[in-house]
Amino acid sequence: MTSLTTASGSAFGTANPHALATILEAGETRRIISATDIYDISGVKLWAGNQPVSAALQRRLLDRELRQPLET
């Protein structure tokens, strides 16, 4: 079995593209707000909590390793 962990030890180091697409699709007809700040593995804030999600979020997240998975 291949290990899926990242340098952070998390199996969810990158944004799940399917979950992110679903969140953004829902955001087209509903107001979807991030519950918390989203940080990359280096501690750089990629998105502020309590802000509506948008396509800009998708661009920021897809190429970065995340500190925490989006699905939590």
- Residue 48 pLDDT class (50, 70, 90 cuts): very high
The domain locations on the chain are 1-72
pLDDT tens column, 10-46:
455 778 888 888 988 998 899 989 899 999 999 999 9
**DSSP notation for the chain:** ------TTS-TT-B--HHHHHHHHHHHTTS--B-SS-EEBTTS-EEE-TTSB--HHHHHHHHTSBBSS-TT-
pLDDT tens column, 17-26:
888 889 889 9
The pTM of this model reads: 0.70
